[in-house]
Amino acid sequence: MTVQNNKKKYKYHLLIVFIFAITFSCIVLHNVSLYNKIIIVTGNSMYPTIKNGEIVLIKERDYLIEQGDIVLIKYKESESLPLFYPHNKYLLKRVIGVGGNTVEISHIANSVYVDGIRIDEPYINYYDGDTTIKKGEPYTIVPAGYIYVLGDNRNNSFDSRNPELGLVSEDDVVGIVMK
């Protein structure tokens, strides 16, 4: 064999590998996009867990909503939403309580209790060093089919403490953030 024949075989094998890699990537991307949604986060309500501009993958099918999950919620446009929600169509929040839970926010202890048990929340960020949990009803019973959600950036979050959002129907959950 000549050097020229070896180069032709090498280029041919390289082309086959390249075509295989592109085909495989297209199949994977198709399957990911078929069952999942890729979003770019706008806003700081989930800081420091998820930062403004971060890309996250949302699982849209075959999920069970559990306490601690981060969910993407469909939300109607609203004039009363703060300016840091520029699109007003989706909210990304952490599930604190599910149907049947009792959620209690203690403004004195700066803690959240679910069914009387204080939940450990190492992911919380208090805006500007203020450790007081602001606003919200101190005691909420979550009915079946609904969830109680809070942002990790507690003092910079439009969430279930705000009566305009309140409890979120599970029907309004688009999916959960894949970990």
> What residues form DSSP beta bridges with 104?
113, 139
Catalytic-residue membership of 11: no
Q: How far apart are CA 47 and CA 36, in angstroms?
A: 22
Catalytic-residue membership of 9: no
Question: Burial code of 83-117, b = ≥16 C-beta within 10 A, e = fewer?
Answer: eebeeeebbbbbbbbbeebebbbeeeeeebbbeee
Q: Which of 9, 11, 37, 93 is catalytic?
A: 93
β-strands 146-150, 139-141: how paired?
unpaired
Q: Which two tokens stand for residue 138?
A: 């101190």
Q: Which of 25, 37, 45, 51 is catalytic?
A: 45
**Which of the residues are catalytic?**
45, 93
